[in-house]
Amino acid sequence: MHQDLVAEVIEIFGQLRQLRYPIDKMRTVDHYPRADDELSMEDNNTSAFNCRDIPGTGRWSLHAYGRAIDLNPLLNPYIDDTGAFQPKNAGPYLDRSLTDPGLLRDGDPAVRIFTDHGWRWGGYWRTPKDYQHFERRDQ
């Protein structure tokens, strides 16, 4: 994480722990061959820093600046305006009415913890929907 967000992220994850919000795993992306984001997402790995661009844009992702977190990305997929989704094994989780622990929905306590701290949630975006993604721009 970016140094100016470390204390806040520790507080957020402490609150998630108090809620007993299930995080499948949390590893740095370099745990995966070539720091492959898709492999990390397929493995339902919660992650933050990843020196990468926003797919298809050529612009740096907020992950490259340590200002974004992807939470349980298999359960909370990215869905673009064509309906394509990532990770590629997330098809069953496109149904947002599922009740699997760790699946994020509007109004969930886990979402509110982030948004109450000023983070934006990709699940609120019109397109793409990025249910796994929380970001905090420069303060």
Tell the residue number behind the tokens 């339902």, with chain if given: 44
* pLDDT > 70: percent of the chain: 99
pLDDT classification of 109: cutoffs 50, 70, 90:
very high
The pLDDT value given to residue 120? 97
Pairing of strands 25-26, 120-121: unpaired
The pLDDT value given to residue 75? 98
Residue 20 has pLDDT above 90, yes or no: yes
Q: Cβ distance 4 to 139 under 8 Å?
A: yes
Using alpha carbons, list the distances in angstroms from residue 115 to 60, 94, 112.
23, 22, 5
Residue 139 has pLDDT above 70, yes or no: no
The Cα–Cα gap between 104 and 22 comes to: 11
pTM here is: 0.94
User: In the predicted model, what is the mean pLDDT of residues 21-41?
Assistant: 95
CB-based burial of residue 8 (10 Å sphere; 0-12 exposed, 13-18 middle, 19+ buried)? middle
Q: Which domain holds residue 57?
A: 3-135
Report the mean per-residue pLDDT for the chain.
Answer: 95
User: In the predicted model, what is the mean pLDDT of residues 4-26?
Assistant: 97
The domain tally of the chain equals 1
